[in-house]
Structure 1
C-alpha cells in the first residue's frame, strides 16, 4: 500500500512510518496543512492518515479539498479530538474512519487495511483475477493454486494492475505508485520495463495468460483475454 501520513507530531509520525514500512508499505509524509494539500494534488495514495490540528490549517479543510478534487483515496482521521461531534463531523464530511489518539499501531494498520479492502477489493482479503488469486493479508500469490514467489515491487505492481484492470496506466503513474517521492531522483523509467518484464515472465511461466499489454508511447494495461 501507498500511504500519506499528514501529522505534525514528529514522534508519532516517525513511529507510524517506521511501523508501516516494516510491514512492506510505501509511506510519504506531510507535516503541515499546505504540504498535505500539495502532496494530495500531485500524487495518488491508497490511504491518507489525516491529523485534524495542523500548522497552517485544519485537517477537515484538507478532507474537504480531497472531496472537491474527486480523489478516491481512503481517509482515516487520526486525532486527539474525541468529542462525538468531531467524529460525526469528520465522518459526515467523507472520512472513511476516525481513530482517537493514542492508539496501538496494530489497530491503525488493521483500520487502514479495512479501508483499502472496502475501496478497492469489495471488502475481501482475497483478490482474484481469472487463474490468479491473491491473499492480501498473507501477501501470497497463487496461479492455479500453486504459490508463486515475487519480489516486493513485483507484488505491488501486480496488485496495482489488477486494481486498475482495463485502464491504461502511464509509466509515470507506475513509478510514482511504486517509489513515491523518490521518483524525482530517477533519471529515466527503464527500471519499470525491467520490473514489468520480470512480472510477466513469472506469471506466464507459472501458467497464467499474458494479461499485461504494452500501449506504445503511453504505458501499460492489464486486460482480460
Structure 2
C-alpha cells in the first residue's frame, strides 16, 4: 500500500498553482463549515483549536486499536504514515506554542480544495475514489470488498464518536443489503464533501449523526 493512493496526496495547498492553472478555492456553505468543523473537533484531542502532528499520529493509533492491530502491525505503520503526510498536506503553517500546527482555517481551506476537485469532476474526483479504495482496504476485515455494520461501528469508536452506528449505517445503506460497496462509499464521501443538504446520507459517513 502506498500513501500516494489517498485523497490528501493529490491536492495543492491554497494559493499554490499547478502546472497549468491556479487552484481557486470555492465558498463553503454554512452547513459545510459546520460539518467540516465537527470533523476537525474529533481530531482536536486537547480542544485547543489547533491540530498538532501528535494528534494525527494518535488518531491513527486509535483506529488501529479499534481494529485490533498492535503497534508492530504493518497496517498500523501505514495509518501513521498516512496521517503524518496529511498533517503536512493540510498546510500546517500556523505557529502555536512554538510548533507548527493546523488551524481550523487551514483545515477548511483543505476542504475548499476538495469541493473544487469534485465539482470539476462533476462527481467523485479521481483522488477521492482512490482515497475511498484505501479506506476499504484498511477496514474491510473479512475480505468481502464491502464495509459491514461491525466494521463501520469500529470506525466510529476509533474516532471517539458517540453517535449510533446502527442508525447511521441503516441510513447510508440505501438498498438495505447490510453492506456498503466501494461505489456506495464513493458516493457517500462525495456527498459529505459537496452537499449542503443536512439530510444527505453522506453526512453520516465519517462520524455518524451529530
Q: TM-score range by the shorter chain?
A: 0.3 to 0.5
> TM-score with structure 1 length normalisation?
0.33
TM value normalised by structure 2: 0.35
Greater fraction of residues in helix: 2
Question: Between Structure 1 and Structure 2, which shows a larger proportion of strand residues?
Answer: 1
Q: Larger Rg: 1 or 2?
A: 1
Relative contact order (C-alpha < 8 Å, sep 6+): which is higher?
A: 2
